[in-house]
Amino acid sequence: MVSAKTEELPDVNTAREFYSKYEPKEILGRGVSSCVRRCVEKKTSKDFAVKIIDLTDGNNQISEELRLVTRNEINILKEVSGHAHIIELVDVFETSTFIFLIFELLKRGELFDYLTEVVKFSERQTRSTMRSLLEAISYLHSQNIIHRDLKPENILLDDDLQLHLSDFGFSTKIEKGQHFTELYGTPGYMSPEMLQCTVDENHRGYGKEIDMWACGVIMYTLLAGAPPFWHRRQMIMLRRIMEGQYSFPSPDWDDISTSARDLVSRMMEVDPTKRLTAKMALAHPFFQQVEDTSRYSSKPFNPRRKFRVAVYTIVAYRRIMAQMHQHRPLKLAVAARDPYSVKALRRIIDASAFRVYGHWIKKAANQNRATLFENSSRADQRKLEELEEFAAGMHDDGLLMSLVPSSGNSFIAQPVS
Ligand SMILES: Nc1ncnc2c1ncn2[C@@H]1O[C@H](COP(=O)(O)OP(=O)(O)O)[C@@H](O)[C@H]1O
Ligand SMILES: [Mg+2]
């Protein structure tokens, strides 16, 4: 749970350096001991994201452990900086009670929220997302870093929906042959061998392979729109993970290619020594497939996709119709004859009347406010209506006529050239 305390902005005196360069804005996300806000760089007016980590606990005691953990996160972020699919740390400020991490702002937010919006990904989208994610993991592993908290909430998207891996709070350096036994991450994405460490004290521990397990869970979730191991009772879910008990149920998986399923199952391989590495996964046939960009390619029938297209079509139609009603073409003749009937002019007229009279003009039962602004007398108005009818009749007979203002407040019908 997040305490309300983490959402409070640090006071200006304790973080002068940060406030002199940046102005904090609305909250973008929250963590256990951090709050992420949009912030604006005062000098350039450019947007960034600031992760504000409160080092004090409920009793106002400073946690030196959290300070060390955050410094580790910063060191790793600096080491991996510059990769196209890893978030860019821009600046850091540290005070006795807070640490501020300034990041590039990723406006489209979490992959998790995007997935919730679209329900599930096509194979093409999954291919592009997983390729970027595996490239980032392959790079991390080549630098002897494991992430340990891979999940769609920690994958952020930019304006072009390009992926940027973030949240290196649980990341660690790992030496060749080194193994860890501590439990880190988020239950649904934890690997069987990490969970085994909690029940078997003689377990040799886990290594880089845990990230690849999480990649398998992510790819499964993208394609199916649902996670592979979820159960409302967490203990049952964890047991299923340890036993690798998952399936590709119908109808969600009916349309999904065998190469996609094969890649998922090779990443979600219970034995870490048999699991694909990031490099091996990138060489899998799933990524060798050439996209069929032909407009006439026949995709397998997908009722959800068809229904979505139908819904979008209706929404688009309604928007176009609404636009047409809002912005009817303004005819000069109408504007000159009866300006109060034109919505845009009515507003100007009312505003002007308000300025002249200092209050709204009362509209009695038989009193029409429009008459205050008519350009012609009632008699002229009737004559004009007759003329309009006449012009309309002429138009029906094939002669184009329009009403144009003549001298005074009268109008004449004139053929249109
Ligand atoms: N650079 C960013 N741009 C946009 N949103 C961000 C950015 N960094 C973090 N967030 C939002 O804040 C949330 C928490 O950030 P994260 O680094 O994951 O912190 P924690 O370690 O507390 O989980 C993210 O899940 C995301 O919604
Ligand atoms: Mg996070």
The DSSP secondary structure of 319-357, one letter per residue, reads HHHHHHHHSPPPPHHHHHH-GGGSHHHHHHHHHHHHHHH
Average pLDDT, the chain: 85
Q: Which two tokens stand for residue 280?
A: 């091996």
What fold characterizes domain 109-288? Transferase(Phosphotransferase); domain 1 (1.10.510)
* C-alpha distances in Å from residue 186, one per residue of 65, 70, 81, 413: 20, 18, 25, 78
Task: Say yes or no to pLDDT of 213 above 70.
Answer: yes
330-334 average pLDDT score: 79
- Is the pLDDT at 379 greater than 70? The verdict is no
Best-predicted range by mean pLDDT (272-286, 292-306, 384-398)? 272-286
Quick one: what percent of the chain has pLDDT higher than 90?
Answer: 64
- Mean pLDDT within 218-235: 94
At position 276, the amino acid (one-letter code) is L
The answer on pLDDT for 238 being more than 60 is yes
166 within ligand 1 shell (Cβ under 6 A): yes
**Is any atom of ligand 1 closer than 6 Å to the C-beta of 113?**
no
| Model confidence band, residue 382 (pLDDT cutoffs 50, 70, 90) | low
For ligand 1, say whether the CB of 51 is within 6 Å of any of its atoms.
yes
Residue 408's pLDDT is 41
Q: Are 73 and 168 in contact (CB under 8 A)?
A: yes
pTM: 0.71
Are the beta carbons of 275 and 193 closer than 8 angstroms? no
Q: Can you list the positions of beta strands (E) in 348-406?
A: 401-405
List Cβ neighbours of 170 (8 Å cut-off, separation of 6 or more). Answer: 147, 148, 149, 184, 185
Output the pLDDT for position 86.
98
State yes or no: 51 annotated in a binding site: yes
User: What is the whole-number distance in angstroms between the Cα of residue 103 and the centre of ligand 2?
Assistant: 14
On the question of pLDDT at 20 being above 90, the answer is yes
pLDDT tens figures, 59-95: 889 999 999 999 999 999 999 999 999 999 999 999 9
Phi, psi (5° rounding) for residue 395?
Answer: -60, -40
Q: What is the average pLDDT across 294-308? A: 73
User: Residue 285: its pLDDT value, please?
Assistant: 97
Q: What is the pLDDT of residue 399?
A: 41
295 vs 221: which has the higher pLDDT: 221
Active-site position among 11, 57, 113, 149: 149
Percent of the chain residues past pLDDT 70, beyond the cut: 79
Give the residue-averaged pLDDT of 233-243: 96
Sequence-distant (6+) residues with CB within 8 A of 19 are 12
3-state DSSP helix/strand/coil percent for the chain, to nearest 5? Answer: 45, 15, 40
For the chain, the residue count is: 417
149 is catalytic: yes
So what's the pLDDT on residue 354?
Answer: 64
Identify which has the larger pLDDT, 357 or 104: 104
pLDDT score of 263:
98
CATH number (1.20.120.790, 3.30.450.370, 3.50.30.60, 3.30.200.20) of 4-104 reads: 3.30.200.20
Atom of ligand 1 nearest to the CA of 166: 17
pLDDT of residue 31: 80
Confidence of residue 376 (pLDDT cuts 50, 70, 90): low
pLDDT tens for each residue of 123-132 = 999 999 999 9
- In this prediction, residues 17-28 reach a mean pLDDT of 96
Tally of helices (H runs) and strands (E runs) in the chain: 15, 12
User: 196 is written with which tokens?
Assistant: 């085994």
In ligand 1, which atom is closest to the CA atom of 32? 22
**What is the pLDDT, as a whole number, of residue 336?**
83
Tell me what the mean pLDDT of segment 180-192 comes to: 96
Residue 245 has pLDDT above 90, yes or no: yes
pLDDT at 8: 80
